[in-house]
Chain A
Amino acid sequence: MRRIIDTIIEKVIFSCGTLSVIFVILIFSFLFMESFAFFKDFDITKFVTGRYWYPDSEPALFGILSLIVGSFLVTLGACLIAVPVSIMTALYISEVVSKSVRDVLKSLVELMAAIPSVVIGFIGMIVLVPCVRKLFNVPTGLTAFSGSVMLAFMAMPTMVTISEDAIHSVPWQYKEGALALGATKWQTMRRIVLKTARPGIMAAIMLGIGRVVGETMTVMMITGNSSRIPHSIFEPVRTMTAVIAAEMGETVKGSMHYKALFSIGLVLFLITFLINFVADLFLGKNKNK
């Protein structure tokens, strides 16, 4: 009896173990099927390179180039802010301060990850957007730049935590070796620690980018939702995620528009799949050392 129960439970555990693979495959095939149907009716090159997203016009235009540019611009801006700040923060937390301060600072940084994206979007709307409008003297503060700033804050927890882990796991012998040769702590950090921790830091950056690319609510609230290709970072943009979130509710199931949104979902899926795959390779490289 005991043994039969054990076997049944072990079967259940095994099935749960395989669920994650099943879900990934299920999500992919679901997106793929809808997209495949879409590309039968709409040319895939026109989809990727088309400049205009007018799903309601006659004939409807489903070009996502402006959305790709929008996502790219917001992500790039966020990275330019978040990457240097995160690496420096990780260095400071891991190498400069004492252990107890380290725990407090790390918890504070992680706390930021718990703030819902709507709250961040709302704060961005209230605080940042008017500032941007006045400071840069642009017609609206709902710009790619505003999105980049808020998303940078959202990417920092991921980037800081994972690069801090990487920096922290640099063997102390490496550091002592350099210090014994008369290098200052800062020189050691710059030349030895950062170099050794590089794969982990790269993974941290990739995962942070993954989070930014997929972020929806914040960008929908503060980037202006204009599907034109912008000329600068101080113009409104629209990202792929925002289009799905904004338009999915209004589409009719099975319509071209519906399938087009799934195709955007597939593009997002593939982009984040790639980013995470690369991040995982970096992390694996770090572990093998």
Chain B
Amino acid sequence: MIKLNPKLSQKFSYLILFLATALAIMPIMAIIFIIVKNGISVVNWEFLTSMPKNGMREGGIFPAIVGTFAIVMSTIMLTLPTGVCAAIYLNEYARDNMLTRAIKLGIVNLAGIPSVVYGLFGFGIFVMFLKLGVSIIAGALTLSIMELPVIITTSRNALNSVPYSFREASWSLGVSRWQTIRHIVLPNALPGIMTGAVLSIARISGETAPILFTAVAFYVPHLPHSMFDQVMTLPYHLYIISTQIPNMPNSIIFGTALVLLVMILTMSFIAIFVRIYFRKHRKW
């Protein structure tokens, strides 16, 4: 075997590592490029604000946008307060005992359950057992359980980044634990918690499997009136028109994908910038 010059071998390995990195970030670039290039022509105000026509082969995606919005907002309203409270419990109150260990294990495993299994569970318990029917609320409940571990983990990191000395200073002035959390810890952890929440919203907006049998419908001719209505959502709509409808014009599929992508990327960028901004302007 030829013994390579160590310096040369280093250069060669760096090249390989660089190529691997290129391979890892190429898909995201390619996906964005392909979708923008093919979808930009159909996306206009009318596409965004009109109902689908002619078996969805024409018209817009307005009901899917409204439906996505309804489900995502209901989900985050359910999961954010609960998740933040759970994070507060774990970070500020929990002692190192069996229960805490069980909770941590629960979070890890909740995070690992496949989304379609959440769909099964949500269908069984919310749609059937609690008789909520296929509805926004059933879908939102299912998604909020799925998103709970993510919210807990990001919020916990945010709470944990607030220096312990702030808590001690507050306690030493006779302020109670909850008051300290409410007025010192939470305000300082808020940027981190919000960043996590925005990323969660982005993630929920793109979910399909958990709401497949709990909230969505193939086609709904009107906008949702209440929490107990079925809805169309963007990702599910994209799935339908790209697999279930023959002779579907590609431009509409790309247009739908583009709208979904822009929504999600915008939120991700906002979250990233908020994170960078607050890291730079941190008060401590």
Binding site for B on A (CB under 8 A): 2-3, 6, 9-10, 12-14, 16-21, 23-24, 26-27, 30-31, 34, 84-86, 88-89, 91-93, 96, 105, 107-109, 111-112, 114-123, 125-127, 153, 156, 160, 184-187, 190, 207, 210, 213-217, 221, 241, 244-245, 248-249, 253, 261-262, 265, 268-269, 272-273, 275-277, 279-280
Q: Does B75 contact A (CB under 8 A)?
A: no
With contacts A20-B149, A249-B213, A280-B105 known, is A27 near B10, CB below 8 A? no
Chain A min CB distance to B48 (Å): 18
| B242, chain A: closest CB distance, angstroms | 5
For B101-124 the 0/1 string (1 means CB < 8 A from A) is: 011011111111111111111011
Q: In the bound complex, what is the Cα–Cα distance between A116 and B211 (angstroms)?
A: 14
Q: Does B23 contact A (CB under 8 A)?
A: yes
User: Could you list 24 A-B pairs, sorted by A, with CB under 8 Å?
Assistant: A6-B176, A6-B179, A14-B89, A16-B82, A17-B90, A19-B82, A20-B106, A20-B149, A24-B109, A26-B121, A31-B120, A88-B17, A111-B265, A115-B261, A116-B260, A117-B206, A118-B236, A119-B206, A122-B238, A186-B14, A241-B209, A248-B120, A262-B120, A280-B108
Known: A30-B121, A248-B119. A112 touches B27 (CB 8 A): yes
Whether A119 pairs with B199 at a CB distance below 8 angstroms is: no
Residue with the greatest number of chain A CB neighbours at <10 A, chosen from B90, B120, B176: B120
- Bitwise interface map of B from 87 to 100 toward A, beta carbon under 8 Å scored 1, else 0: 01110011000010
A12 (CB) vs chain B CBs: closest residue:
B85
A219 to chain B, nearest CB (A): 10
Question: Does B135 touch A at the CB level, under 8 Å?
Answer: no
Chain B contacts for A187, CB-based, 8 A: 6, 10
For A107, list chain B residues within 8 Å (CB). 272
Chain B proximity of A182: nearest CB distance (Å): 9
Interface of B, helix, strand, loop or mixed by DSSP: helix
4 shortest A-B CB distances, which residue pairs? A214-B114, A116-B206, A17-B89, A16-B85
Residues B148 and A85 in contact, CB atoms below 8 Å apart? no
Least Cβ–Cβ distance between B234 and chain A, in angstroms: 8
Within the assembled complex, what's the spacing in Å between the Cα atoms of A84 and B23?
A: 11
**Nearest CB in chain A to that of B92: its residue:** A13
CB pair B208 A21 closer than 8 Å: no
Q: Tell me whether B28 and A85 are in contact (CB under 8 A).
A: no
A17 to B159, CA, bound (A): 15
Bound-state CA distance A93–B24 (Å) is: 11
B249 to chain A, nearest CB (A): 13
- Known A-B contacts A27-B113, A213-B114; A114 and B106 likewise in contact (beta carbons under 8 Å): no
A10-B93, A21-B102, A277-B109 in contact; A114/B85 too (CB < 8 A)?
no
* A87 nearest CB neighbor, chain B only: B20
Give bound CA distance, A210 to B208, whole Å: 18
Contacts of B202 in A (CB 8 A): 114
| Given A107-B272, A213-B114: A184 touches B7 (CB 8 Å cut-off) | yes
Neighbour of A272 across the interface among B6, B88, B112, B145, CB < 8 A: B112
Interface secondary structure of A, over-half rule = helix
B208 touches A122 (CB 8 A): no
B128 within 8 A of A: yes
| B247 CB within 8 Å of chain A | no
B243 contacts A244, CB within 8 Å? Answer: no
For residue A88, which residue of chain B has the nearest CB?
A: B20
Inter-subunit contact B86/A20 (CB<8 Å): yes
- B116 near A244 (CB under 8 angstroms)? yes
- The answer to whether A122 and B253 touch across the interface, beta carbons within 8 angstroms, is yes
Contact of A122 with B89 at beta-carbon distance under 8 Å, contacts A105-B21, A245-B209, A273-B109 already known: no
Chain A residues lying within 8 Å of B152, measured Cβ to Cβ, are 20
Q: Which of B203-235 contact A (CB under 8 A)?
A: 203, 205-209, 212-213, 235
In the complex, which residues of chain A have a beta carbon less than 8 angstroms from the beta carbon of B149?
20
Report how far A22 CA is from B120 CA in the complex, Å.
Answer: 17
Query: In the complex, what residues of B have CB within 8 A of residue A23's CB?
Result: 106, 110, 145, 148
A85 to B19, CA, bound (A): 9
The answer for the CA separation of A13 and B89 in the assembled complex, in Å, is: 6
